[in-house]
Amino acid sequence: MATTSLFEDTNPHELKELLGLIHSRELALPDFQRDFVWEPVATQELIISIANGFPAGSILRIRNTQDLFKARAFDGAPPLNGKRPTYLVLDGQQRLTSLYQAFYGTGEHQFFINLKVLLDTGDFEDAIFHIRTDHRRAAEYLTLEAQTSRLLLPLRVIFGEKDGFLGWVMRMADAVADHTKSKELRDNLRRAGVWESAIDDYKFPVVTLSEQTKAEAVCTIFETLNRTGVKLSVFELLTARFWAQELNLRELWDRALEENPLIEQFDPDPYYLLQIAALLRTDVAASCKRSDVLKLPVTHVSKSWPDVVWGLNEALTILKEDCGVWLPHWLPYTAMLIPIAALMARTRSMKGPEVAAARQKVVRWYWCSVFGQAYENAPNSQSALDVREVDQWVRGGAVPKTVREFRFDPQVLRRTTPRQRALYRGAMALVMKQSPRDFHKGKKLDGGIILKGEADDHHLFPAAYLNRHKVEERVRDSILNRTLIDRETNIRISARPPSHYLKDIRDQLSNALSDVLQSHLLPHALDGTNPLIRDELEPFLSARLELFTREIRSATGAVVRDGLLTSTEWTGAPTPVAPPEDDDDDAEGDDEEGQPWLADGKAWHQKKCSARTWQALEKLLATITEHGGKPAFDWNIKGYVRVSVLGYRWAQVNTYPNQLMLTLWTETSCFEQAVLEKLLRVRRFDTKMGGSEKMGLPSSIEVVGPRGGYYRVRLRIKDDFDFANPEVGTMIATWRETLG
């Protein structure tokens, strides 16, 4: 009996071809496929694999001539609007959706490559980053001006624009007026094009089922894929390699699960344990990137394995007991499990009070990382940095950068929905940290109840109720309007306003309802002052925001400054940089009698400067005042005048007899060295020349960074500097704008 082959085609197809088919509505999904659920970090990791030419799995599709299933477009792709797609994807939806949204720029995040980093380091993983599409910086970075000044490549230009990468290179080069600079820029972009070519040429293995395939066979194949699909991992590769060296990784992993119920419950990827082990290395710089994990010596893995498992179990214990992470899906950043476990493994030898002190610091660092969104980009590099700095901190060293530079705007929570997974999970974990009680019997909720499906996060003002009142989706689904609600209460709530269902609950729980509300970080008064009871949405959201702010402040050890939660160690800029090495030769010693700069700093600086330099200082400060948004000047400092904006030192002017040194700090790369040289009509700053050689040289400038997370502009002002040049004010205004 003749049989018909299931397979029409088993050849590889280029990524750009597959994404093009999605865009032209020729490639779609069967309607029964689940929604797109990948986090942007997962998308980033996939793009990194593709850029490096690593296998990223195969694609299974079927020719759609029989209309076996109702079709729908990929998330972010043009709607089908009645068009019959040529193919339906059975396996590969999440990968193709994430890649389409990244390379066509249609998703909730925009992906960029920092070409400066890529050209300097050659590390694609450190160069790629993402920003929420609705963030102001995303709109800025999508302009050609920002891309030229910051050397940023939006991934959307590779496949999402007609002329692609080469067209973008030409537009970038044309935007630079100077021919020499334009050619240099074009050459640099073409060097970076090696990575673009790797993406452009990437091919996925694609299996295409023929149009004769029956619906029953398709369903069976689909179910089998979802039940048994296994990805090839670094863990599997090293398991095979170490087997020949008499180390059975699979056996070690199985034993770890058997002996540690908490690890079994969280069921982390066993690859994480290898990354933890990599961060415990002392013979080389610790790194948990894939390339470095693959280089792990078998002796190190064997020796460190007990500490790795112990550290992982301790990390999960801390997350559960101190951070409200009852279940894996409430961990804001999955990758954070790796540095926490490595830190705990490094502190295993500690005894007594130092154990509690170390744990307290690790927990504070964790919350600063979550709400500071430190793990949005390059999580492996961030992990290595944090393990090094936090480990030093718990042993009495300096406060780590993640803690020291923590800042968070609580107003962000107003627009944080389940789509903003990390912040949403972090805020919900704060609720779990309070040991919330169910609204039905007042009993404590826990992870077991959630696992059984007896409680989940739901709306307080029900979605149906708010839809009737035309409340926008972002407000409706905000974390401020959600909490953990048991199933029975959620059924009781239905579409009723809070005043109705809370009355019923109070009839059952009496005044204990106040304790229940308080355990959910909700306004808990049971009288007419509670906006939740009065069905007043906006006053309720404001009250809930205040409660969340208080908890975040407590967890991060932050203080409130100008409406922002800010680390107590925050100074607004790197704490004072040392004066240039060639400008110290006229500085008075600290033992100058009476320290006159403290008594009358302005008079002291005036006496220090020549008449012409003092006039220049007055002009400079007048320009900063006009364009810098009402800055404050502190004269009572030896050596320089501090310029504060929003309460923080973002600039300073060092004073000398015959010159001034203006230093500006920014958090973003908003200035280009060559551009400032041309606009201000000054020369390039030469830090290697001695002070005596510089005395006769003209004004100069340098732009450096990032250092310590900041970019720095240093402008040496001599007698030749032209304060009448309007570009001076433009530079100050640009600097001020970056500060928010």
Q: Per-residue pLDDT tens for 495-521? A: 899 999 999 889 888 889 999 999 999
Supply the pLDDT for residue 120: 78
Q: Read off the tokens for 697.
A: 């040289």
Cα Dmax for the chain: 109
Q: How much is the average pLDDT of 347-376?
A: 92
3-state class (DSSP) for residue 369: helix
> Cα angle at 330 between 104 and 368, to 5 degrees?
85
User: Length of the chain, please?
Assistant: 740
What is the mean pLDDT of the segment spanning 432-436?
91
Residue 569 has pLDDT above 50, yes or no: yes
pLDDT digits (tens, 9 = 90+) for 224-242: 555 444 444 577 768 867 8
Burial of 403-416, coded b for 16+ CB within 10 Å and e otherwise, reads bbbbbbebeebbbb
Would you say the C-alpha torsion 508, 514, 520, 522 has a positive or negative sign?
positive
Is the confidence at residue 343, as pLDDT, over 90? yes
Q: Which one has a higher pLDDT value, 64 or 219?
A: 64
More confident residue, 586 or 29: 29
Query: Residue 263's pLDDT band (boundaries 50, 70, 90)?
Result: very high
Whether 696 has a pLDDT exceeding 80, the answer reads no
pLDDT given for residue 193 in this prediction: 77
What is the model's pLDDT at position 229? 44
**Average pLDDT of the residues in 291-295:** 86
Q: pLDDT tens digits for 545-564?
A: 999 999 999 999 998 887 78
SS3 579: coil
| Lowest mean pLDDT segment, chosen from 200-204, 659-663, 711-715 | 711-715
Residue 542: per-residue pLDDT: 94
pLDDT at position 432: 92
597 band by pLDDT with thresholds 50, 70 and 90: low
3-state secondary structure of 656: coil
Mean pLDDT of 613-635: 87
Average pLDDT over residues 629-646: 78
Least trusted range by pLDDT, from 81-95, 221-235, 705-719? 221-235
Residues 408-428 have a mean pLDDT of 89
- The mean pLDDT value for 47-76 works out to 86
9 pLDDT above the threshold of 50:
yes
Predicted local confidence at residue 56, as pLDDT: 86
Mean pLDDT calculated for residue range 147-171: 88
Rounded CA-CA distance 523/57 in Å is 49
How do residues 88-106 score in pLDDT, each as one tens digit? 998 888 899 999 999 999 9
**Out of 302-316, 495-509, 682-696, which region has the weakest mean confidence (pLDDT)?**
682-696
- Mean pLDDT, residues 168-187 taken together: 79
Q: Is residue 707 over pLDDT 70? A: no
Q: How far is CA 120 from CA 191, 192, 207, 287, 675, in A?
A: 11, 10, 39, 19, 21
Average pLDDT, the chain: 84
pLDDT at site 668:
66
Burial 59-68 (b: 16+ CB within 10 A, else e): bbbbbbeeeb
pLDDT at 710 exceeding the cut of 50 = yes
CB-based contact 595:602 (threshold 8 Å): no
pLDDT computed for residue 575 by the predictor: 37
- Average of pLDDT values for 464-471? 90
Grade residue 646 by pLDDT with cuts at 50, 70 and 90: low
- Of 70-84, 223-237, 557-571, 665-679, the range with the lowest mean pLDDT is 223-237
pLDDT at position 1 over 60: no
CA distance 24 to 102: 17
Helix/strand/coil (H/E/C) assignment for every residue in 412-443: HHHHCCCCCHHHHHHHHHHHHCCCCECCCCCC
At 347, is the secondary structure helix, strand, or coil? coil
Strands 564-567 and 558-561: antiparallel
Instruction: Give residue limits of the domains in the chain.
Output: 7-205, 234-381, 412-567, 596-738
pLDDT of residue 163: 84
- Answer positive or negative: Cα dihedral of 276, 277, 280, 284: negative
The answer, as to whether pTM is greater than 0.85, is no
pLDDT higher than threshold 80 for residue 583: no
CA distances from 537 to 77, 470, 476, 631 (A): 35, 12, 10, 38
In whole angstroms, give the CA distance from residue 729 to residue 241: 62
Q: Which tokens in the block code for residue 310?
A: 């112990």
Please indicate whether residue 603 or residue 303 has the higher confidence score (pLDDT): 303
Per-residue pLDDT at 595 exceeds 80: no
CATH of domain 596-738: 3.30.1460
If you average pLDDT over residues 7-27, what whole number do you get? 91
Q: 550 vs 30, which has greater pLDDT?
A: 550
Give the 3-state secondary structure of residue 707.
strand
